[in-house]
Each structure stands twice: as C-alpha cells, then as structure tokens.
C-alpha cells in the first residue's frame, strides 16, 4: 500500500511541477539499465511514472563523467581491488546472408572495482618501503 501511495504522490507532483521528478528519474534510469524497450519507457513517461527517453539519456550522459571521476579518486586510495575478465561472445545471425557474413566472434574485457572494507589508508603506509625493497621492481 505504501508503494502505491508513493507512486501516486510522485505522479501527482510530476504533473504539477516538472522539477519534482526524482522518483520518475530513478525509475527511468532503472528501466534503461534493464534494457526495457523505448516504447515501454515512452508509455510510462506519458503516464507520469518515468521520465522520457531523451531525459534518461541526458541524465546518464551527465552522471557518467562524475562516476568516472569518483572511481578514479577512489582507486587512488588503494582501498579497492580491481578484477578483470575476458569474454568471448559468438553472435551468430539468425539467417546468414552476404551482408552479415562478417566476423561473429567478439572479444570483450570487463572490469570491476571491489571495495576492501578491512583495509584503511594507514595500513598502506609501508607499501612504498615494500615496493622499493622488492627485488622484482
């Protein structure tokens, strides 16, 4: 019941003032991350549940540089581990024609930053000495 009340209040606020779109924006970005078709997002936008597709794209474009900056500064503290993985995906067309006869194997690399909760910056004070003392460097 609470979810319906919050959604109804959000739709009413969005219909009264276009600046009151926090919940609609979150729903729109969530729908985009789940690869919901654009016509569904447009329908939900007309209902007042979500923001429009162009607004979602603008929000993602404006949030991406900030997220990249935040990630770079967080990785500079050395309290994160980085994990990489290679993916090989074979995307075969349903019907083979001359137009789509190109390579079907795609190689991707994914990465993830994992927060190391048990490590603090003071624990890393000796890292510089260890780096200089290592015969591998």
Helices 22-33 and 2-16 meet at what angle, rounded to 10?
110
- Across the chain, the runs of DSSP E, i.e. the strands, are 80-90, 105-115
Q: Would you say the pTM of this structure is higher than 0.85? A: no
pLDDT of residue 58: 94
Distance CA 38, CA 94 (A): 23
Tens digits of residue pLDDT in 32-64: 999 999 999 999 888 888 889 999 999 999 999
| pLDDT-derived band at 137, boundaries 50, 70, 90 | low
Report whether 82 contacts 110 (CB < 8 A).
no
Instruction: Say whether 29 sits in a helix, a strand or coil.
Output: helix
Tens digits of residue pLDDT in 94-108: 777 777 677 788 899
Distance CA 114, CA 121 (A): 16
């Amino acid at each position: 019941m609470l979810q319906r009340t919050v959604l109804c209040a959000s739709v009413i606020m969005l219909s009264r003032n276009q600046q009151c779109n926090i919940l609609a924006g979150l729903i729109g970005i969530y729908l985009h991350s789940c690869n919901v078709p654009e016509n569904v997002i447009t329908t939900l936008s007309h209902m007042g549940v979500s923001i429009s597709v162009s607004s979602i794209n603008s929000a993602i474009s404006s949030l991406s540089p900030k997220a990249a900056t935040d990630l770079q500064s967080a990785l500079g503290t050395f309290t994160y581990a980085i994990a990489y993985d290679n993916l090989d995906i074979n995307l075969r067309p349903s019907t083979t024609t001359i137009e789509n006869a190109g390579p079907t194997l795609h190689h991707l690399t994914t990465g993830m930053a994992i927060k190391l909760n048990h490590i603090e910056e003071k624990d890393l004070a000796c890292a510089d000495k260890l780096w200089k003392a290592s015969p591998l460097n």
